[in-house]
Structure 1
Amino acid sequence: MQIIVLALEGVFDTGLSVILDAFATATSLSAQLFGGTPRFDVTTAGVRRKVRTAQGLTVPIQAIKPASKPDWVIVPAVIAGSPAELFAKLERPDVREAQSHLLKWSAKGSRIGAACMGTFVLAETGLLDRQEATTTWSLAPFFRQRFPHVQLDDSRMVVPCDIGVTAGSAMGHLDLALWIIRQASPELAHTVSRYLTADLRSSQAPFIIPNHLAQADPMIRSFERWARQNLKDGFSLQNASKALATSARTLQRRCDAILGKSPLAYFQDLRVEHAQSLLHGEGHDVEAIAAEVGYADGATLRTLLRNRLGRGVREIRAGFE
């Protein structure tokens, strides 16, 4: 399998490294345990001769060959401190040139993968329009606003689509590499994950911080404050919209545009977050926590936690210890 890792100036050090390490480990283990098949021939390429990482390290880069047709092209994250900085980087000449290459590779049949902020680079080409995708959860509201035609699901860690695959935040680079290895050999991917003490994760949901998402929009910030003050009382769209001096329809539409979910779903996110913090404390049984976040009984809360986080009460508490 021929793979090009497309490294741009300011590439995320860890993201680039874990991709290269995962495929190097896969090739080594394949040679030792699987008769050398599959093999992953990985090239770190770019539009410049040298690239500096976000931490200032210099990465030697191979020039892109115009006639190349790799099986996969992977776009690691380009680190930015804010959405405005990231959007400015998308306008850089080297990024525009890289996007031109992505379009040509895709037209030739190469599959494209991207992780974390690298998904913004890919989405800017238009290749993700009308495709399912994920991205770093922390910038999901800004992704939705910039790329409204992409079907974003930031709760998932890895999302395949017609043109390739996208992955979520930071260590999602490793999930992306393991997913691609798995397409070639599920058994090899399992072995690589054991050697790297990592595994494919299906969800980013346990890592999402609702308060962070709310900062993307003034109305959502106000709704979050109202929701936190009313967790015990339960959700009412009419009461929420009245408190925010807006219509129920406007609040619904704003939550969908910024958060990709309904006001009720975000309200439940806040319930889950608060319940988790109480579970990490001492002296709170499940029934008391359920009452604190507005549920009639512990069974309902247990179901919500399991559905949202993929973990039960014991697992949540054990993970904190």
Structure 2
Amino acid sequence: MRISVLALDGLFDTGLSCTLDAFGVANKISARAMGGTPRFEVSVVGVRRRVRSNHGFPIPVKAVTESKRKPDWVIVPALVTPSPDEVLASLERPDVTDAKAQLVEWRAKGVRVAASCIATFLVADAGLLDGREATTNWSLAPFFRQRYPAVSLDESRMLVPTDIGVTAGAAMGHLDLALWLIRTVSPELATLVSRYLLADIRSSQAAYIIPNHLAQADPLIKRFEQWSRENLKTGFSLQAAASALATSSRSLQRRCQEVLGKSPLAYFQDLRVEHAQSLIRSSGLDVETIAAEVGYGDGATLRALLRQRLGRGVRELRSDLL
């Protein structure tokens, strides 16, 4: 598999290094432990001849125009632009504009595109995600959803493959993406690499999402979050929430969908899960008591919700503390 890693000024140092390290380890294992030849031909390319990482380290790149063979995949590491204003500014940079055009050109030639974290904004801005599913850095999901309404975003997922490539979640999602690409070539090799690196492909980033952070993106949602926290034990009522917020049920539902990509009830349940996790990890309360604290009549319902949302049960959450 031929892979080009597209490096841009200000990229996330760890994102680039863990991507290159994962494929480097894969090639060494393939050549030594599995008795084969290296499976991945990886090059770092740029739309500029001089590229520096976010920490100021020079990154040796080959000019895109120097490559005589088109890659099978191009990977776009994230830029360090943690706020919507910074994302917008980066998308307007001349080098990023050239990179978007290069992605479109590559894609027209059949090259598949992979992007992690904030790099998904660059791919979306190039129009390559329109009409497709995607994931992104969960903390910027409301902004992504607002800017790219034609993209079906699910920030709870760590990896979302599509016909044009794959998108991955926040920060260390770069490593999940690299392991996923290795797995497409050899599941056995991917398993060995993950064991060497003490890393596994995660199916979800839901456990890392902070609902309070998402609520800050919109004044009405922020007030809905506050109301929800005050009523976790009482239970959810769309009509009661709308009345308390001086809005209509329809308006609250619409705004939640636009900002959060989910219903008011689904967000209310996110807050239940978050509070339940906190109690499980920080208190000696039994499951039935914790269930009552978040508005459920029995522990079985809470257990089912935790398993559905986090893929983990009460025992596994408590074992994290050991």
The TM-score normalised by the length of structure 2 is 0.98
Whole-angstrom CA distance in 2 between matches of 1:31 and 1:67? 26
1:251-310 deviation per Cα after TM superposition (whole angstroms, max 9, x unaligned): 111111111110000000000000111111233111111111000011111111111111
Whole-angstrom CA distance in 2 between matches of 1:315 and 1:35? 38
SS at match of 2:181: helix
User: Once superposed, what is the RMSD of the aligned Cα atoms?
Assistant: 1.0
Indicate the residue corresponding to 1:206 in structure 2.
207
Indicate the residue corresponding to 1:27 in structure 2.
27
- 1:82 deviates by 1.2
> 1:227 aligned to 2:237?
no
Whole-angstrom CA distance in 2 between matches of 1:194 and 1:155? 25
What pairs with 1:150-299 in structure 2 (closer than 5 Å)? 150-299=151-300
Indicate the residue corresponding to 2:40 in structure 1.
40
Whole-angstrom CA distance in 2 between matches of 1:67 and 1:103? 18
Contact 2:133–2:151 (CA under 8 A) maintained in structure 1: yes
Whole-angstrom CA distance in 2 between matches of 1:46 and 1:165? 20
Q: Where in structure 1 are there 5+ consecutive unaligned residues?
A: none
1:15-55 deviation per Cα after TM superposition (whole angstroms, max 9, x unaligned): 00000000111111111133334521111111111211111
Whole-angstrom CA distance in 1 between matches of 2:200 and 2:274? 24
> 1:115 aligned to 2:102?
no
User: Amino acid of the residue matched to residue 170 of structure 1?
Assistant: A
User: Amino acid of the residue matched to residue 210 of structure 1?
Assistant: P
1:119-158 deviation per Cα after TM superposition (whole angstroms, max 9, x unaligned): 0011100010011110011111100001110111111101
Whole-angstrom CA distance in 2 between matches of 1:123 and 1:271? 32
Whole-angstrom CA distance in 1 between matches of 2:104 and 2:35? 35
SS at match of 2:320: helix
**Could you tell which deviates more after superposition, 267-276 or 279-288?**
279-288
User: Amino acid of the residue matched to residue 115 of structure 2?
Assistant: A
Whole-angstrom CA distance in 2 between matches of 1:206 and 1:55? 29
**Could you tell which deviates more after superposition, 32-41 or 195-204?**
32-41
- 1:177 deviates by 0.5
**Could you tell which deviates more after superposition, 29-38 or 42-51?**
29-38
1:158-204 deviation per Cα after TM superposition (whole angstroms, max 9, x unaligned): 11001000000100000000101111111111111111110100000
**Could you tell which deviates more after superposition, 164-173 or 51-60?**
51-60
Indicate the residue corresponding to 1:320 in structure 2.
321
Contact 2:135–2:167 (CA under 8 A) maintained in structure 1: yes
User: Amino acid of the residue matched to residue 224 of structure 1?
Assistant: E
State, as a whole percentage, how many aligned pairs show the same letter. Answer: 67
Indicate the residue corresponding to 1:64 in structure 2.
64
Contact 2:28–2:38 (CA under 8 A) maintained in structure 1: no
User: Amino acid of the residue matched to residue 22 of structure 2?
Assistant: A
Instruction: Label 1:43 to 1:101 Cα distance change in 2 as closer, same or farther (>3 A).
Output: same
1:46-65 deviation per Cα after TM superposition (whole angstroms, max 9, x unaligned): 11112111111111111002
Whole-angstrom CA distance in 2 between matches of 1:307 and 1:61? 44
Indicate the residue corresponding to 2:16 in structure 1.
16
The TM-score normalised by the length of structure 1 is 0.98
Whole-angstrom CA distance in 2 between matches of 1:291 and 1:178? 40
Contact 1:7–1:51 (CA under 8 A) maintained in structure 2: yes
Structure 1 runs (4+) deviating above 4 angstroms are: none
- 1:80 deviates by 1.0
Contact 1:38–1:185 (CA under 8 A) maintained in structure 2: no
Contact 2:45–2:62 (CA under 8 A) maintained in structure 1: yes
Whole-angstrom CA distance in 2 between matches of 1:68 and 1:134? 29
Contact 1:27–1:36 (CA under 8 A) maintained in structure 2: no
Q: Where in structure 2 are there 5+ consecutive unaligned residues?
A: none
User: Amino acid of the residue matched to residue 27 of structure 2?
Assistant: T
Contact 2:142–2:260 (CA under 8 A) maintained in structure 1: yes
Whole-angstrom CA distance in 2 between matches of 1:292 and 1:298? 11
